[in-house]
């Protein structure tokens, strides 16, 4: 994968002046670091007929656990979970948390047969940091472009004493300490306890981005076509791409777009990457993964394994502490109307995702959420609560007897021709359904295509059309009236006097998979604008209409 600093992705919290005063402070300018923390285990993997597994010079004999071959590679802590699938072995490589990657990840594996066993290749998620700091007149803005480690630090005030330096948040909390030595800025990040050495950077000059006649055809299931083939005007979309390419500088209003994809009539017609990203780079979907969660629930319903009307307590256990717990249904979890004391927009809320994850002693996130007190009746009001929608996973895992990543792989990934992804894990080792999976943008777009195709992908039924209609209908009002379904957001545009409805998966930073059923259109966007909801709103308000208007 290419280094992300070729086109600098730094977004500050205040606009840079149009004609800045020449710098006289030696700290002023842009500083950056690209650092890998590893290496983790990866590369060629061989499993023998005797269940001996070997990778990176480390060997282990896999144990047979009711038909699943499992083993741990000490001292790295990576795990294998495999099962025989015809002539192949199929399963997952599980990498443990790293320095920057604060959770483990499950990566799907397929091993092909050989004369003495099976072979495959492990490509774990890179544990790396790409961080840039823009400093001007004792004020700094920080952007970590891939994982947004520690979230946005926001506007930081700088104090110096000799060659020592401190960067503090607006509330006075110390974020960084360090020292300046010529063209090197050594910083210690207190939040995660790592030391970095940053060097001066000069943003690369912008180069006009040309749109290919049609995206490349690969083996991922997408057929491709030109914009004209599907009735999309080229000129306005080319102008939008150029606007994105020119929006990389460090001003707060500049979106840090990593990819833009458009499909129409089931064909991929636009595939553009920015800031050094490529088609092969899996991107953090953040909360857009919640739409995968509710799709799993819909498939479980199609298979008569679970229903949105099921009482959660029937699976997780009845507790006589509050009658509202027995009244809670899966539909309430899916629509953000659980009634729990859980509000991701309230930093003091006990159910807040960051509050829960910040408690190192809490390893059972299902149990933590299930034990939350109620502040209102289920269904009475919608409040954004990641913990509640993740709790759907606890019910699905128990009702199906399956590990969530394996369930996703069988029910969604393979039917959608998604082979390269990384599913993030909770401390318990179960898959997290609150968001955060790493998926390639071409595969992310398939999530919206599933809606446009009424539950089908390339002629294959993945989930029922009845579920698609149910999940994308209005079930709650979170920010605007009737703006949320079951894991899907809703919005209506006025286009030349015509109302055009969209439904979309949305994640922190501006991750968007947008379905426009009336136009048979899909738009997918990945970005690095973590913690900046205003930029996500700008994309929806000003950029999406350009593409909608280009449809003839």
Tell whether omega for the bond before 503 is within 30 degrees of 0, i.e. cis: no
Q: CA-to-CA distance for 545 and 522, rounded, in angstroms?
A: 13
pLDDT given for residue 152 in this prediction: 59
Q: CA-to-CA distance for 52 and 185, rounded, in angstroms?
A: 47
pLDDT given for residue 24 in this prediction: 67
pLDDT given for residue 76 in this prediction: 77
Tell me the per-residue pLDDT of 294-311, one tens digit each, with 9 for 90 and over: 999 999 999 999 999 999
Residue 9 has pLDDT above 70, yes or no: no
Residue 77 has pLDDT above 80, yes or no: yes
Provide Rg for the chain, Cα atoms: 24
CA dihedral 40, 41, 44, 49 (to 10 degrees): -160
- Alpha-helical runs (H) found in 422-485: 441-452, 465-472
pLDDT given for residue 360 in this prediction: 86
* DSSP states along 24-36: -STT-EEEEEEEE
Q: CA-to-CA distance for 269 and 262, rounded, in angstroms?
A: 6
Burial class (CB in 10 A: 0-12, 13-18, 19+), 53: buried
Is-contact 294 334, C-beta < 8 A? yes
* Ramachandran category for residue 457: left, alpha or beta (phi over 0 → left; psi -120 to 50 → alpha): beta
Tell me the per-residue pLDDT of 485-526, one tens digit each, with 9 for 90 and over: 999 999 999 998 899 999 999 999 899 999 999 999 999 999
Tell me the per-residue pLDDT of 237-250, one tens digit each, with 9 for 90 and over: 999 999 888 875 44
Residue 51 has pLDDT above 90, yes or no: yes
Among 521, 509, 517, 520, which Cα is nearest to 547's? 521
3-class DSSP assignment, residue 165: strand
CA 436 vs. chain centroid, Å, equals 4
Query: 182-186, 226-230, 323-327, 349-353 — which is least confidently predicted?
Result: 182-186
φ, ψ for residue 226, nearest 5 deg: -85, 165
Among 439, 379, 433, 401, which Cα is nearest to 303's? 401
Q: CA-to-CA distance for 407 and 31, rounded, in angstroms?
A: 43
CA dihedral 489, 490, 494, 496 (to 10 degrees): 90
Helical (H) or strand (E) element with 242: helix 234-245
Over residues 386-402, the mean pLDDT reads 98
3-class DSSP assignment, residue 389: helix
Distances (CA, A) of 142 to 186, 201, 255, 328: 14, 14, 15, 42
The domain spans of the chain are 4-37+127-201, 43-122, 288-400
pLDDT given for residue 252 in this prediction: 47
Over residues 140-149, the mean pLDDT reads 77
pLDDT given for residue 529 in this prediction: 84
Residue 3 has pLDDT above 70, yes or no: no
Residue 7 has pLDDT above 50, yes or no: no
Tell me the per-residue pLDDT of 106-127, one tens digit each, with 9 for 90 and over: 999 999 999 999 999 999 999 9
Percent of residues, the chain, with pLDDT higher than 70: 92
Residue 192 has pLDDT above 80, yes or no: no
Among 305, 294, 279, which Cα is nearest to 336's? 294
What does DSSP say about strands 267-273 and 223-224: parallel, antiparallel, or unpaired?
Answer: parallel
Query: 244-253, 289-298, 364-373, 438-447 — which is least confidently predicted?
Result: 244-253
> Was domain 4-37+127-201 assigned CATH 1.10.3470?
no
Q: CA-to-CA distance for 154 and 191, rounded, in angstroms?
A: 14
* Ramachandran category for residue 292: left, alpha or beta (phi over 0 → left; psi -120 to 50 → alpha): alpha
Is-contact 9 145, C-beta < 8 A? yes
Is-contact 448 523, C-beta < 8 A? yes
Residue 251 has pLDDT above 80, yes or no: no
CA 354 vs. chain centroid, Å, equals 16
Q: What's the chain's average pLDDT? A: 91
């Amino acid at each position: 994968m290419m280094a992300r600093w070729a086109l600098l992705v730094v977004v500050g919290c205040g606009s840079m002046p149009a004609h800045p005063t020449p710098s006289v402070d030696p700290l002023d300018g842009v500083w950056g670091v690209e650092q890998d923390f590893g290496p983790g285990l990866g590369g060629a993997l061989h499993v023998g007929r005797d269940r001996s597994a070997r990778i990176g010079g480390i060997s282990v004999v896999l144990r047979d656990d009711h038909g699943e071959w499992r083993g741990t590679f000490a001292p790295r802590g990576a795990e294998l979970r495999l099962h025989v699938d015809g002539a192949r072995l199929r399963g997952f490589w599980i990498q443990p948390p790293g320095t920057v990657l604060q959770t483990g990840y499950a990566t799907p594996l397929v091993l092909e047969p050989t004369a003495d066993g099976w072979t495959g290749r492990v490509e774990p998620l890179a544990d790396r940091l790409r961080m840039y700091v823009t400093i001007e007149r004792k004020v700094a803005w920080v952007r970590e472009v891939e994982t947004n480690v520690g979230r946005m630090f926001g506007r930081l005030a700088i104090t110096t004493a000799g060659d020592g330096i401190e960067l503090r948040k607006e509330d006075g909390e110390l974020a960084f300490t360090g020292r300046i030595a010529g063209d090197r800025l050594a910083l210690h990040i207190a939040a995660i306890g790592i030391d970095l050495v940053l060097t001066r950077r000069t943003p690369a000059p912008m180069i006009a981005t040309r749109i290919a006649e049609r995206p490349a055809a690969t083996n991922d299931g997408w057929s491709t076509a030109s914009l004209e083939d599907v009735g999309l005007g080229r000129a306005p979309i080319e102008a939008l791409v150029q606007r994105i390419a020119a929006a990389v500088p460090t001003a707060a209003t500049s979106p840090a777009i990593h990819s833009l994809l458009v499909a129409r009539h089931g064909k991929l017609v636009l595939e553009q990457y920015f800031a050094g990203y490529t088609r092969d780079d899996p991107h953090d979907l953040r909360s857009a993964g919640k739409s995968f969660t509710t799709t799993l629930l819909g498939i479980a319903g199609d298979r008569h394994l679970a229903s949105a009307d099921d009482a959660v307590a029937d699976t997780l256990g009845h507790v006589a502490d509050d009658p509202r717990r027995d009244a809670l249904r899966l539909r309430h979890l899916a629509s953000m109307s659980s009634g729990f004391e859980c509000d991701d927009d309230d930093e003091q809320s006990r159910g807040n995702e960051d509050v829960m994850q910040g408690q190192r002693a809490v390893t059972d996130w299902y149990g933590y959420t299930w034990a939350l007190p109620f502040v209102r009746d289920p269904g009475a009001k919608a409040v954004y609560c990641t913990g509640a929608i993740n709790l759907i996973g606890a019910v699905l895992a128990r009702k199906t007897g399956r590990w969530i990543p394996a369930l996703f792989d069988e029910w969604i990934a393979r039917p959608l021709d998604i082979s390269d992804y990384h599913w993030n894990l909770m401390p318990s080792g179960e898959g997290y359904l609150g968001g955060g999976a790493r998926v390639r943008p071409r595969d992310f777009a398939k999530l919206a295509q599933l809606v446009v195709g009424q539950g089908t992908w390339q002629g294959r039924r993945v989930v029922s059309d009845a579920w698609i209609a149910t999940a994308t209908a209005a079930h709650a009002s979170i920010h605007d009236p009737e703006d949320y379904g079951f894991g899907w957001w809703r919005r209506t545009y006025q286009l030349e006097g015509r109302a055009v409805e969209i439904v979309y998966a949305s994640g922190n930073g501006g991750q968007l998979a947008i379905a426009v059923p009336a136009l048979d259109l899909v738009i997918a966007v990945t970005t690095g604008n973590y913690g900046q909801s205003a930029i996500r709103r700008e994309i929806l308000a000003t950029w999406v209409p350009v593409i909608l208007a280009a449809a003839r």
